[in-house]
Structure 1
Amino acid sequence: MPKEYGRSERVSSQMQKELAYVLQREIEDPRLGFVTVNEVVVSKDLAVAKIYVTVLNADEEGKKLNIVALNELAPVIRHEVAKRMRLRHISEFRFYYDYSFDTGMRVDELLKGEDDEN
């Protein structure tokens, strides 16, 4: 019988917490805006971590620049997270923008617009 909550899910959860802390307190880069870590998906072998983030108060160009900056800083961020986690090997970090928040806001605007018409 497989475990309901496997190791990769536990590592993902802990990594999300540590990433949020490191991005907020440890990384000081003027290129980065207010970055929120929405989800971390770690591969089954723990080799790669896909990190989905949003950036508040940023236009489309700003979002792209933040993702580029995060991917450039990935080795530094990875090192800081590794110091905080008790793992023999830490995953390779790959940052992606999470458009689900933007999509939700757009749907909300459309629904509010529909209510105004009725």
Structure 2
Amino acid sequence: MGENPRARRLADRIKQIIATRLDKGLRDPRLGFVTITDVRVTGDLQHASVFFTVYGTDEERADSALALESAKGMLRSEVGRNITARITPSLEFIADAIPENAQHIEDLLREARERDGQVADLASNAAYAGEEDPYVQPRERDDDEES
């Protein structure tokens, strides 16, 4: 089944409203450099999951998550004023794991490159255990034998 187009439009609008509000600033000193990465709205348009990332240390991420959680009511009111839906969806803030996942993938790729280099070094110094071509070749007939 496809995604509800109305839910997708509402999600895009909520993302824009929250990002604009965060850009204007909240009066919470715990809030760091927050980026809203995605918003997903349920099919009944009653719940919105807001995914965010925070640039900084783990402590700054935790503080920003607490700041967003404490500002949830004010942000929901802001969303309610700026959308035309009958019901204002409840908001849930979820820390997006994109930066951590990207770093993990980079680490795996670096490790794979190192192992490929090791295998290439071993292959360059390798010698055949037996003959160079281990497959049985058909015998070549001499023209002298046929006569």
Normalising by structure 1, report the TM-score: 0.82
Higher alpha-carbon deviation: 49-58 or 76-85: 76-85
Percent of aligned pairs sharing the same letter: 28
| 1:1-118 pair list within 5 angstroms | 6-59=5-58, 61-112=59-110, 114-115=112-113, 118=117
CA RMSD of aligned residues (A): 2.2
SS of alignment partner, residue 86 of structure 1: coil
Higher alpha-carbon deviation: 98-107 or 7-16: 98-107
Contact 1:38–1:52 (8 Å) recurs in 2: yes
Normalising by structure 2, report the TM-score: 0.68
Structure with more strand by fraction: 1
More relative contact order, 1 or 2 (CA 8 Å, 6+ apart): 1
Give the CA deviation at 1:71.
1.3
Give the CA deviation at 1:114.
4.4
Provide the C-alpha distance between the structure 1 equivalents of 2:109 and 2:2, rounded to a whole number of angstroms. Answer: 40
Provide the C-alpha distance between the structure 2 equivalents of 1:112 and 1:66, rounded to a whole number of angstroms. Answer: 31
1:81 aligned partner, one-letter code: V
Aligned pair count reads 116
1:24 aligned partner, one-letter code: D
Provide the C-alpha distance between the structure 2 equivalents of 1:45 and 1:95, rounded to a whole number of angstroms. Answer: 19
Give the CA deviation at 1:10.
1.1
SS of alignment partner, residue 46 of structure 1: coil
SS of alignment partner, residue 37 of structure 1: strand
1:19 aligned partner, one-letter code: I
CA gap 1:111/1:29 in 2 versus in 1, 3 angstroms: same
Provide the C-alpha distance between the structure 1 equivalents of 2:85 and 2:11, rounded to a whole number of angstroms. Answer: 12
Q: List structure 1 runs of 4+ shifted beyond 4 angstroms.
A: 2-5
Q: Between Structure 1 and Structure 2, whose CA radius of gyration is higher?
A: 2
Structure 2 segments unaligned to the other structure (5+ residues): 118-147
Give the CA deviation at 1:86.
2.7
SS of alignment partner, residue 106 of structure 1: helix
Structure 1 segments unaligned to the other structure (5+ residues): none
Provide the C-alpha distance between the structure 2 equivalents of 1:105 and 1:3, rounded to a whole number of angstroms. Answer: 31
